[in-house]
Amino acid sequence: MKIEIKNLEHLNQTLNDYDINPNNWGNGDTRTLKELYKEIVDGETELTEVDGELIRTVTVVGIVVTCNDFKLKEDRQEFTDGRIRHRDLSVSCAEKLIKGETPKQAAVRCIKEELGIEIHERELTPHVSHSNKDLSSSYPGLKCIYHRNPFDYEMKMEYFKPEGYQEFQENKTTYFIWQ
């Protein structure tokens, strides 16, 4: 059953109703309650109750970006509050789908937002989608179902920057490097 979240206070109460304590979120590698609320408002995340458990459902794209013999990887995220997060991702970049968006549209948006490169959907090579259920590392205590849509993208040499790429967001900068 989908749970409609009315506001930030309602989200906090809903988490507490399922014995999930968000008070320590926003430390280390975790995200804040406000960030979860924004994901819900933006249509990137949905909360449901399944067999008495609160579940966060997210559909994501992951793109392996290559250029010649190089593979792009996320090096780190530096937050404005001084935290630095290193993630060992199997993909170069990833993005949550927005409600109504197809995986290919999300992958094109991901490349544009994270690397500053505009591509066409036909430049992406899709792979078999899959799902898994796991505890969320971003929101401790909250179980999550991830619907994953993997793609490959072979970058044209004209877009290749040997020094890598940076994505600037309001609360963090993400750094991408070539391996």
- Compute the average pLDDT of residues 87-110: 94
Mean pLDDT score, 8-19:
97
Count of beta carbons in the 10 Å neighbourhood of residue 131? 10
From residue 34, alpha-carbon distances to 7, 12, 126, 130, 143 in Å are: 10, 10, 33, 28, 18
Confidence band for 83, pLDDT divided at 50, 70 and 90: confident
pLDDT given at position 97: 95
Report pLDDT digits (tens) over 105-137: 999 999 999 999 999 999 999 999 999 999 888
Q: What percent of the chain has pLDDT above 90? A: 88
Residue 29 has a pLDDT of 81
Q: What is the pLDDT of residues 58-79, one digit of tens each?
A: 999 999 999 999 999 999 999 9
The span from the CA of 129 to the CA of 108, in Å, is 17
Average pLDDT on 128-152 reads 94
Report d(CA 98, CA 103) in Å as an integer. Answer: 9
Model confidence at 25: pLDDT above 90? yes
Q: pLDDT averaged over the chain?
A: 95
Among 36, 98, 176, which Cα is nearest to 109's? 98
